[in-house]
Chain A
């Protein structure tokens, strides 16, 4: 089959067709140029997400703050005071909030990306635009959300810094990289899951509690140092661990930093993203026939 198409492509090369629709295209035919052409659409989607989410809510954008704050308070009470899990000398509020801010970004992106096909079946069935725009818009709109929550974290961090409870260091400069890694990882995972859910719906159910389990496998509510040796290697194998740990180390000075682990996370997330994009791209073309 591939051969025939290749031949036909050669055959019409002399006529300047602007587009050729064929049965199946190469795995890596991502058409990023087209994605760029539709960048205005990405902005529109981001805008839509914001306006639509908080329309007709009383507190509106305040929800950006309330959600992480309430979770942090819950964590302080449950894990900090009842379960008495160590926070490595870092003030509890700051400890949990630092993990949560980054984690929320990952979880929000993943959850949203993983249901792309289900959420957008209506549009996808009717109009063509590069489908990659949707996951990209999710990552971007969550990035804005992250920025707001990060500002909240920043304010609280400054307060503790002023009180002299923490020793931040130069690795703070790595923050953008960490956020990008989180974005890449969630995007990649989300794309893989959404591609699979078109055929195997069961994964949707797995996702909700899978994300929760993954959070416990990441040092959000406990520091790496508090881990018993037999679990430490498992948690370290989680590519998210190094990202969260680095973030916390940079801002509070507690914990560890290891270039090797971070490199592992980076390589892992890029591989996931590549696989995700390829799988998504393949499914996207036949998806309307299976849903």
Chain B
């Protein structure tokens, strides 16, 4: 099969900080260098895009020397953590931004679904928006007309087709938007994160359509998603990006996913969270550390199913904070949220004084089954996010005797366990 995408030495440099101030002096610098026939001085700067280290330069490489080829009909998954450069790569491929160096060669029409519904106008009816959106995505009026019924049918919003889309529910909106995009019939389809929305049934429909597009029509699909189940089910090839570089060259999807999971688990086993950079929020309160303890108050690295555990946080408040809300989210390696422990749901808010304090969360029977989980933490007060740490920590849950029956539950076929009883009536 012929190569339809050839990415050669693609690099993309971004300037950090406040773009816009001081740009004139940088511009002058560049011109001066150009006049003397020297290389652009800013291109020599720039470092690997590692967010957890404070960089010395204002310039970072969001992508550095990316090379790969995609053949017709392949479905390539692109995997990577937040900020690994996935979206930048897709943006270059879909021509919304230019690479700093390198070239991309393409055969055929490219359509990107970087976000569905782009260009939808709230005042226009669904019908008008189908035409507008279709045209933005590169279809001619005649093409849209010939597929109009199909699009409406796929979206399932016939009844509202002449209603302005501002009156649509968000679900209907997405359905309609995806329906237009799905009927584009480009040679190369670029998909990012579309599956984050819509109900399960619709997601299935979308995945089916994408598979259909690649298998039956021999089109090429580039797919970026946090939904690893989707990547596994859909892609026959995958590559892993890390800090703007290819850390696993294009190859077998399962191997790529495995390698990606390993790299996540390897991420610090230490309890110290102060160095974790994937965080946002006002910073009026920060979580310094998180540790798991068993019933004997011994620190453990991996909790077991059914065990009584205490999760202990050391937090530092930089001011007095009223009604502190704190939540722990456990995510499976496929990116699905499996469990949230949240004091707000129990109405047990804390009023916190300035200073360092400890917060405990006690779970009598740890309900998650065997597997790796990533933990996200969020603290807030009156809807203001104080400290939000994504991928704060990865933990391994071990099998345990949840029901106290001497039976260790090793299987991960089930997601969660709950205490329950069985009875019979004569």
A residues contacting B by CB (< 8 A) are: 5, 8, 12, 15-24, 38, 40-41, 43-45, 47-48, 51-52, 55-56, 122-129, 199-201, 285-286, 288-290
Task: Verify B19–A126 contact, CB threshold 8 A.
Answer: no
Q: A23-B98, A51-B123, A285-B98 are in contact. Are A123 and B23 (CB under 8 A)?
A: no
> With A and B bound together, what is the CA distance between A38 and B20 in angstroms?
32
B318 at the interface (CB under 8 A from A): no
Interface residues of B in 48-105 (CB under 8 A from A): 91-105
> With A and B bound together, what is the CA distance between A17 and B164 in angstroms?
41
The contact of A21 among B14, B99, B136, B138, by CB within 8 Å, is B99
Residue among B91, B95, B119 facing the most chain A CB atoms (10 A cut-off) = B119
Count A-B contacts at CB 8 Å.
119
Task: Verify B114–A20 contact, CB threshold 8 A.
Answer: no
Task: Verify A20–B107 contact, CB threshold 8 A.
Answer: no
Closest chain A residue to B6, Cβ basis: A17
The contact of B99 among A12, A23, A129, by CB within 8 Å, is A23
Task: Verify A127–B97 contact, CB threshold 8 A.
Answer: no
Task: Verify B140–A40 contact, CB threshold 8 A.
Answer: yes
Residue among A43, A44, A201 facing the most chain B CB atoms (10 A cut-off) = A44
For residue B142, give the distance in angstroms from its CB to the closest CB of chain A: 8
B135 at the interface (CB under 8 A from A): yes
Task: Verify B101–A199 contact, CB threshold 8 A.
Answer: no
For residue A244, give the distance in angstroms from its CB to the closest CB of chain B: 34
Please, could you name 30 A-B residue pairs with CB atoms under 8 Å apart, sorted by A?
A5-B103, A15-B105, A17-B6, A18-B108, A18-B109, A19-B105, A21-B92, A21-B98, A21-B105, A23-B101, A38-B135, A43-B135, A48-B121, A52-B123, A55-B164, A123-B118, A126-B112, A127-B94, A127-B114, A127-B118, A127-B136, A127-B137, A128-B95, A128-B110, A199-B20, A285-B97, A285-B98, A288-B91, A289-B97, A290-B20
Task: Verify B135–A8 contact, CB threshold 8 A.
Answer: no
For residue A235, give the distance in angstroms from its CB to the closest CB of chain B: 33
Closest chain B residue to A40, Cβ basis: B141
B131 at the interface (CB under 8 A from A): yes
> With A and B bound together, what is the CA distance between A16 and B101 in angstroms?
22
B124 at the interface (CB under 8 A from A): yes
B344 at the interface (CB under 8 A from A): no
For residue B5, give the distance in angstroms from its CB to the closest CB of chain A: 10
> With A and B bound together, what is the CA distance between A41 and B118 in angstroms?
14
Task: Verify B132–A44 contact, CB threshold 8 A.
Answer: yes
B341 at the interface (CB under 8 A from A): no
Task: Verify A288–B118 contact, CB threshold 8 A.
Answer: no
Task: Verify B104–A20 contact, CB threshold 8 A.
Answer: yes
Complex interface: chain A residues within 8 A of B153 (CB): none
